[in-house]
Copies of this chain bind each other. A is one copy, B any other.
Amino acid sequence: MSTDFGSRIRLSVFGESHAPAVGVVLEGVPAGETIDFEELQAFLARRAPGQSALTTARKEADVPEFLSGIVNGVTCGSAITAVIRNSDTRSADYENLKIIPRPGHADYPAYVKYGGHNDIRGGGQFSARLTAPLCIAGGILLQILERRGIYIGAHIAEIAGIKDQTFDASFFDSIAKKPFPVVSDEAGAAMQEAILAAKKEGDSVGGIVECVITGLAPGLGDPLYGSFEGILSQAVFGIPAVKGIEFGAGFEAARLRGSQNNDAYCIDEAGQIRTVTNNHGGILGGLTSGMPVIFRAAFKPTPSIAKPQQSVDLKEMKETELVIQGRHDPCVVPRAVPCVIAAAAVSAAQIVL
Contacts and interface: CB of A to CB of B under 8 A. Distances in A.
A307 interface: yes
A47 interface: no
B301 A253 contact: yes
User: How many copies of this chain does the complex contain?
Assistant: 4
Interface string A63-76: 00111110100111
Interface in A75-92: 75-79, 81, 83
Interface stretch (A49-57, A146-154, A269-277): A269-277
Contacts of A4: 10, 27, 225-226
A339 to B, nearest CB: 12
A111 B125 CA distance: 39
A181 interface: no
A16 B207 CA distance: 40
Interface stretch (A169-177, A182-190, A227-235): A227-235
| Interface size grouping (class) on chain A | 35 or more
A21 B109 contact: no
Contact of A223 (B126, B206, B271): B126
Contacts of A208: 251, 254
Contacts of A31: 113-115, 117-118
A110 interface: yes
Contacts of A300: 249, 253-254, 256, 258, 261, 279-280
**3 smallest A-B Cβ distances: which pairs?**
A106-B285, A244-B246, A113-B219
